[in-house]
């Protein structure tokens, strides 16, 4: 795992430990002459995390995004990092949204008509099919003429597996009938649908297997990676 702070020792790049970083910060702060109520100010890496959180949220970053960047499980911890009040964070985010909107065409923010809104909602209603949901984008038509079994955008509902298995059995029976009657063209088309049905069943099996195979990777500690070094080969 790469480390952000490294220094060169001989021919190797080695990680800089927390103690060395704190010492470098003290050396950098000493010439500034900054003082507080207790004398000279002493900076720590934690102080810069707080400064980053404050500056980010005051410039419009949503608190929940800052929470992810800082690695906090509880957003209240993130809110405690910043040296501003919640109202200021909200105001900063609203100002950020206003600046973003100024860069977008004004017609994108107009109020939609009733017809446009109904059409938008209707698109998602029409995505629901017997076997599951259609994943085609808004404003696009069905390119498979509603032959959903062949469509790669069909996401099969696991509850509809019996229906899909029934369709597969029906396709196999129809293929047998077509081959028996000599309907070669019909058989070829049905075989394409049968292959698609098999693929959909395989996708369902894969999704089901993934749900039960969650692996906890853990979180590496500093001492687990600090001892690792990257050796640079010498040039001949």
pLDDT tens for each residue of 96-149: 778 877 887 777 777 878 888 888 888 777 778 888 888 877 777 777 666 788
The answer to whether residues 204 and 158 touch, using CB atoms and an 8 Å cutoff, is yes
- In which residue are the tokens 């293929």 written? 175
CA distances from 170 to 164, 175, 180 (A): 10, 9, 15
pLDDT value, residue 1: 40
Tell me if 6 sits within 8 A of 14, measured CB to CB.
Answer: yes
Instruction: Identify the bridge partners of residue 12 per DSSP, sorted by sequence position.
Output: 9, 231
- Look at residue 236 in the predicted model and tell me its pLDDT: 47
What share of the chain has pLDDT > 90, as a percent?
Answer: 11
Listed in sequence order, the residues at least 6 apart from 172 whose beta carbon sits closer than 8 Å to its beta carbon are 194
Residues of the chain with pLDDT under 50: 1, 229-233, 236
Contact by Cβ (8 Å): 164, 156: yes
Q: Which of 222, 220, 232, 224 is nearest to 16 (CA)?
A: 222
Strand segments, DSSP code E, in the chain are 6-9, 12-15, 35-36, 39-40, 128-129, 132-134, 154-156, 230-231
Taking the whole predicted model, whether its pTM rises above 0.75 is answered as no
The gap between the terminal CA atoms of the chain, to the nearest Å, is: 28
Distance of CA 78 to the CA centre of its chain: 20
Sheet-wide strand order for 128-129: 128-129, 132-134, 154-156
Long-range pairs for 142-151: beta carbons < 8 A, 24 or more residues apart: 147/193, 149/193, 149/196, 149/197, 149/200, 150/192, 150/193, 150/196
């Amino acid at each position: 795992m790469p480390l952000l702070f490294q220094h060169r020792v001989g021919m190797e790049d080695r990680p800089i430990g927390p103690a060395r970083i704190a010492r470098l910060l003290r050396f950098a702060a000493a010439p500034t002459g900054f003082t507080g109520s207790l004398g000279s100010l002493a900076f720590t890496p934690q102080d810069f995390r707080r400064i980053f959180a404050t500056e980010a949220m005051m410039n419009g970053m949503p608190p929940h995004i800052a929470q992810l960047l800082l690695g906090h499980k509880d957003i209240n911890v993130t809110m405690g990092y910043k040296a501003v009040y919640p109202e200021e964070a909200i105001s900063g985010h609203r100002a950020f949204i206003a600046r973003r909107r100024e860069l977008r065409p004004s017609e994108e923010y107009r109020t939609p008509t009733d017809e446009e809104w109904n059409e938008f909602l209707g698109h998602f209603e029409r995505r629901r099919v017997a076997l599951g949901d259609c994943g085609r984008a808004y404003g696009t038509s069905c390119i498979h003429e509603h032959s959903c079994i062949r469509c790669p955008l069909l996401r099969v509902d696991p509850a509809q597996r019996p229906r899909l298995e029934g369709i597969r059995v029906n396709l196999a029976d129809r293929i047998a009938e077509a081959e028996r009657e000599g309907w070669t063209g019909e058989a070829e088309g049905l075989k394409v649908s049968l292959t698609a049905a098999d693929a959909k069943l395989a996708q369902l099996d894969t999704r089901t297997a993934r749900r039960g195979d969650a692996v906890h990777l853990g979180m590496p500690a500093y001492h687990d990676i600090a001892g690792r070094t990257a050796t640079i080969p010498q040039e001949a």
